[in-house]
Amino acid sequence: MKLTIRNEFTGNEITVDASKLVTRAKLKSWRRKLHADDCTSGDSLGGRGKQVNQSAYDALLMRAEQVLMTE
């Protein structure tokens, strides 16, 4: 399932395949596309603000946070 992640602070957005495995490397890549490395806007996915599919976004965010806590 394709999911768009938006960061309203930077105005950037990306589309990812939310059905695939989430890894630290993917999270780093997504965040880098959404804002600069030294920018603190955004959550573990790099998103900020209202998302198009909020429930799917929240599910992916939970998976991302689990990856960051366990790896």
Q: Tell me the per-residue pLDDT of 15-52, one tens digit each, with 9 for 90 and over.
A: 999 999 999 999 999 999 999 888 888 999 999 999 99
Region 62-68: mean pLDDT is 96
Q: State the sign of the Cα–Cα–Cα–Cα dihedral 25, 30, 31, 32.
A: positive
Letter for the amino acid at 39?
C
Q: What pLDDT, on the 0 to 100 scale, is given for residue 39?
A: 87
Q: What pLDDT, on the 0 to 100 scale, is given for residue 13?
A: 97
Region 1-23: mean pLDDT is 96
Which of 30, 33, 28, 31 is CA-nearest to residue 17? Answer: 30
Which residues lie closer than 8 Å to 4 by C-beta, 6 or more apart?
Answer: 13, 14, 15, 51, 52, 53
Q: What pLDDT, on the 0 to 100 scale, is given for residue 71?
A: 56
Q: What pLDDT, on the 0 to 100 scale, is given for residue 43?
A: 94
